[in-house]
Structures are given as C-alpha cells and as structure tokens.
Amino acid sequence: MKTSKFISAASFIMCCSMLLSCKGGKENKEESAVVEVLPIDIVELRDDQIKMAGIETGSIEWRSLSGNLKVNGSVGVAPENLATVCMPFGGFVKSVTLMPGHAVTKGQTLAVLENQQFVEIQQNYLEAKSKLEFAEAEFKRHSELFKEDVYSQQNLQKVTADYKGLKAEVKALEQKLAMIGIDPANLHEDDISRSVSLISPISGYVKAVNINVGKYVASSDILFEIVNSDKLYLELTLFEKDADKVSVGQKIRFFINNETEQHDAVIYQTGRTINADKSYKVYALVKGVCKNLLPGMYVNATIEAASSSVIALPSEAIVSFDDKDYIFVFEKTKTEGGKPFTEYRMIEVQKGVTDGGYTEIILPKGLDAKSAKVVIKGAYNLLSAKKNAGEMSC
C-alpha cells in the first residue's frame, strides 16, 4: 500500500513538471517572438557593455593636416654620370690594372688594346693626307689657269672632284682616329702604333671590369662601367590615388638601410602615365653630399605636402571592413525591459591624408558634421560586436 502511494506521488510530480515545462516553453516562444530586429547598420549596447568596451564619443574637427605621404623607392644615377666603355674597333687587351671600386678621373687610361686595324687606319690617314696636300695644290693651280682661259672647264671639274673626294676621305679617317683615341693633329709617319689607350669619359668609380690581359674584345663588348655618384636621384613609387598630392618642388625626407641619418631631396619631375599595376612614379634630386648613398639602394621616404584645413577624426575612430572604411555615430538611447540601451550607426566614409594621429574623412551627403557625435575610442570593439552578432550586442 505504501508502495502504491509512492508511485502515485511520483507520477503527480512528473505530470506537474511536464505541465510547468510546457508552460515555460510557451513563455520562451512568446518572448522570442518579440525580439527586436535591428537594421544591418545599427549596433546597440547596454551601459555596462559600453563601459567595458571603452567607448567614447566626440565631435568631428577641422584640422590643418600636412598630408605627408610615406613611399618607397630606389636610388638612381643621372644618365650623364653613368658611362659604359667600349672599344669601337675591338682588339686584344694588352694591359689593364683597374679593379671594381677604383676611383678614376676623366681622361685617365683604363686599359691598352692592340689591333692591326689601328695600324691600317693610321696608315690610310697619313697617305690620304699626303694625297690631299697634292690635290689641293693642283686644285688651286688649275683654278688660276681656268680663270686665265688656259685650262678647260672639264679638266678643272675632274681636279675639283679628286680634291673634294680626298678631303672627305681625310675627314672620315680623322673621325675614326678620334674614335680610338688618337689625335690626328699629333699623328706623323714616325708615330704609327699598334696600341691605343682606352680613356675614361667621366670621373667616378669603376663599377665593373669585364676584361683581362690577352682577351679579345669586340666592338659591342662592354669593357668597363663607371659611375659618378655626385648627382643622384630618387625614383619613388606612389599609388594612383596619391598622384594629385605631389608636384614639382616638394621636399622629401628619406632614409637608407635603416639608418637614423636623414637625407633630403626635392621633386624635379612627376610621372605622366599610370603603370599597369596602378602605380605612379615620382623623381627627386638628392640634395647635398650623402655618405654611404649608392645607386640601386632601397629608400624609405616621406613626401612633405602643403598643409590644408580638412574635416578629420582621430585615426583610431575609422575602422576598415571588406575593403571599405567606416565610422560609428551615436544614433539614440532607449529602454528595453527596464534597461537602458544606446544605438550606434555604422557609416561608410572616404579616407584622405593622415598626419599626427588624425585622418581626413569625406562624409556622405546628409550627415551633419557639426551635430554628429562620433565614436572616437572603442570603434573596433563596436565593429567586433557587429561582426560577432551578439557577443557584445543584445
């Protein structure tokens, strides 16, 4: 009998539990049915969540930003300060003493070369010069005879043709001699040589030596490369969107090899086209003498732009999401279930220049910059609440 009572009591408790459970389920369903659906650009937080996220609001400011651009590039050398040395008629290397890194001056002998063709050019020049002297005397003599009607015009024309032909031949041979470094004015019958000196066309230092004693070199071979680092320039790469922020005359500060020493340059030319990768080139002359600065070096540079007054916010107030930039603006406060909430609206903006921790922004139409209260601290926490769909928001 006691056992039956115990079973009846247990059954009653189970039934009550089921009824309570069913009632609780209905109430939960009714509560979920009235949950507020927020617009996709709204985030709401309770007061305690706002405090935990460290959110602070402030006003949009007008600030004078210089718009300095951080860019990268490399060091180049002016074309007139870079020389590639060849021998126009080739030859065998008789002697060479220079090595890469050696300093040279303009007119200094770089190497001595030998070639049978050097002898032939000198011989042909001296022979043509002698014939020209005779032809010139004949031309003058026949010209005088022609004026006195002693000589025919046909004979004068033949003498004139011979004289002009030899004159052209001598001029051409003079140019060939000059190309191999021989001064025609100082060449005489006793001075013919099979060797000629290869002369440096500029002062600087030897960048490359591509020859050795006994090697035969052709006219197209590069024998030496000489660089003068007195006049260097920077080739800087900018993004297409920054092309309108640079102009001739702007100053540049740059650094090399993680050095702390600052170097200066001035823009002398800006690019006229946009490259396939949407980059834009700017060229600047290096000012003064910069030790350790060599052609080909990588540089980090800052282009100093002119200051202008723009609408700006602290850089931390602007967040990036899906390759777009946003700010959060106070929307309103409200009460739900007896608890206070604050709504913030996520608004897309366009970023401009950045300077001193502030960034220029371009606001969408319809937003009043004067009255808007913008989240200046904790913006990324609001973005996290937006993306995490409920971890911070309700």
Reported pTM: 0.56
Instruction: Give the mean model confidence (pLDDT) for residues 54-77.
Output: 87
Tens digit of each residue's pLDDT (9 = 90 or more) over 218-233: 999 999 999 998 889 9
Q: What percentage of the chain reaches a pLDDT higher than 70?
A: 88
Tens digit of each residue's pLDDT (9 = 90 or more) over 262-280: 889 999 999 888 888 888 8
Instruction: Give the mean model confidence (pLDDT) for residues 105-127.
Output: 94
pLDDT score of 5: 37
- Whether the per-residue pLDDT at 13 is higher than 60: the answer is no
Count CA within 13 A, CB hemisphere, residue 256: 15
- Mean pLDDT over each residue of the chain, to the nearest integer: 84
pLDDT confidence bin for 156, thresholds 50/70/90:
confident
Tens digit of each residue's pLDDT (9 = 90 or more) over 143-154: 887 777 766 777
Homologous superfamily assigned to 71-79+228-304: Efflux pump adaptor protein, beta barrel domain (2.40.30.170)
252 phi-psi bin (left φ>0, alpha ψ -120 to 50, beta other): beta
- For residue 273, the one-letter residue type is T
pLDDT score of 24: 46
Instruction: Assess whether the region 37-67+309-388 and the region 71-79+228-304 belong to the same CATH fold.
Output: no
pLDDT confidence bin for 244, thresholds 50/70/90:
confident
pLDDT score of 229: 85
**Could you state, in order of their start, the residue ranges of all structural domains in the chain?**
37-67+309-388, 71-79+228-304, 116-192
Class of domain 37-67+309-388: mainly beta
pLDDT score of 150: 64
Tens digit of each residue's pLDDT (9 = 90 or more) over 292-347: 788 889 999 988 776 678 899 999 999 998 889 999 999 999 888 888 999 999 99
Q: Return the percent helix, strand and coil in the chain, to nearest 5.
A: 30, 35, 30
- Whether the per-residue pLDDT at 240 is higher than 50: the answer is yes
C-alpha dist (Å) from residue 20 to 12, 14, 29: 12, 10, 14
3-state SS of 179-246? HCCCCHHHCCHHHCCCEEEEECCCCEEEEEECCCCCCEECCCCCCEEEECCCCEEEEEEEEHHHHHHC
- For residue 94, the one-letter residue type is K
